[in-house]
Amino acid sequence: MVDYFVSFGIKDIIDVLCVSLLLFYLYKLMKRTGSLNMFIGILVFILVWIVVSQVLKMQLLGAVMNKLVDVGVIALIVLFADDIRHFFRDIGTSTRTRKLFRWLVRRRHADGDLSKWDPIVKACDSMSHRKEGALIVLGQNDELHDVIATGEEVNANINQLLIENIFFKNSPLHDGAMIIVGDRIESAACILPLSQSEELPKEFGLRHRSAMGISEKTNAVAVVVSEETGIISVFRKGSFQRNISGQDLAKYLAENVR
């Protein structure tokens, strides 16, 4: 044991830090998706397995636990298939990763033009003043295909008046979410998964929980206009910003939607 710590070098420190960061990220992911207790249980099992097989050298019990680990890995992949996909999708689409990639290929980030978001921003501002509820989801790729299929096809260019008419209280499509991918409104009245997160304020309603739910499972950005207060909120990757202005909304969309 003493010899082990004497030979402990910089490479081992980096190794420990990398594992710690990975576990911390998995902890945040499990907490966000409501699987924190399972994550803690897995950690406890791994610690017991290490103590039994590596420290105490209990061969029989260690062999049994080794078999459980072999089977458990496959079971975890099946149970957490969606979370694993979300994990790798987060890495590939994170702001830091994109900045690093742009730096490596020396590409310049052109974020000065906010005019492309004008129809959405102006529609949200208008509905906010009238206290008309709205839920708009901006997809990053084709990951919303199944969600789009739950609603009514629109297939139209992004237009302020069209957005406002769809979310007008007497409109048959005002309930549910509008899905926008690229520069097209794909569908409306779509059904989104509800979040079970305990971090959401109690006053948040069905639209906000739906927005959080889709942001937890995909890389989409969801915009909510509260029907009770008119406050605009944005949701992305299981987190949210509340009470943002139209100008801030345009900047947020420019920075987070490709």
Q: Does domain 115-256 have CATH number 3.40.50.300?
A: no
Q: What percent of the chain has pLDDT over 90?
A: 39
Look at residue 45 in the predicted model and tell me its pLDDT. Answer: 81
pLDDT tens sequence across 149-176: 999 999 999 999 999 999 998 888 989 9
Task: Report the distance separating Cα 11 and Cα 162, nearest Å.
Answer: 58
DSSP string, 90-137: HHHH-HHHHHHHHHHHTPPP-----GGGHHHHHHHHHHHHHT--EEEE
Task: Quickly state the pLDDT bin for 137 (edges 50, 70, 90).
Answer: very high
pLDDT for the residue numbered 140: 77
Tell whether the model's pLDDT for residue 188 goes beyond 80. Answer: yes
pLDDT-derived band at 43, boundaries 50, 70, 90: confident
Give the pLDDT mean for 126-152.
90
Question: Residue 108's pLDDT is what?
Answer: 42
CA pseudo-torsion sign 120, 138, 187, 198: negative
How would residue 101 be classed by pLDDT, with cut points 50, 70 and 90?
low
- Which one has a higher pLDDT value, 4 or 122? 122
Whether residue 246 contacts residue 229, with contact meaning beta carbons closer than 8 Å, is answered with no
> Within 13 Å of residue 136, how many CA atoms lie on the same side as its CB?
31
pTM score over 0.75: no
Asked whether 217 and 82 are in contact (CB, 8 A), the reply is yes
**What is the domain partition of the chain in residue ranges?**
2-105, 115-256
Confidence of residue 187 (pLDDT cuts 50, 70, 90): very high
If one compares 53 and 145, the residue with the highest pLDDT of the two is 145
In angstroms, the CA 175 to CA 206 distance is 10
Interval 176-183 mean pLDDT = 92
Q: What is the mean predicted confidence (pLDDT) over 122-141? A: 92
Residues 6+ apart with CB under 8 A from 138: 120, 180, 181, 220, 221, 222, 223, 253, 257
By percentage, how much of the chain surpasses pLDDT 70?
78
Which pLDDT score is estimated for 113? 55
Taking residues 78-91, report their average pLDDT.
66
| Residue 145 tokens, joined | 């295909």
According to the model, what pLDDT value does residue 15 have? 82
Of 102 and 241, the structure prediction assigns the larger pLDDT to: 241
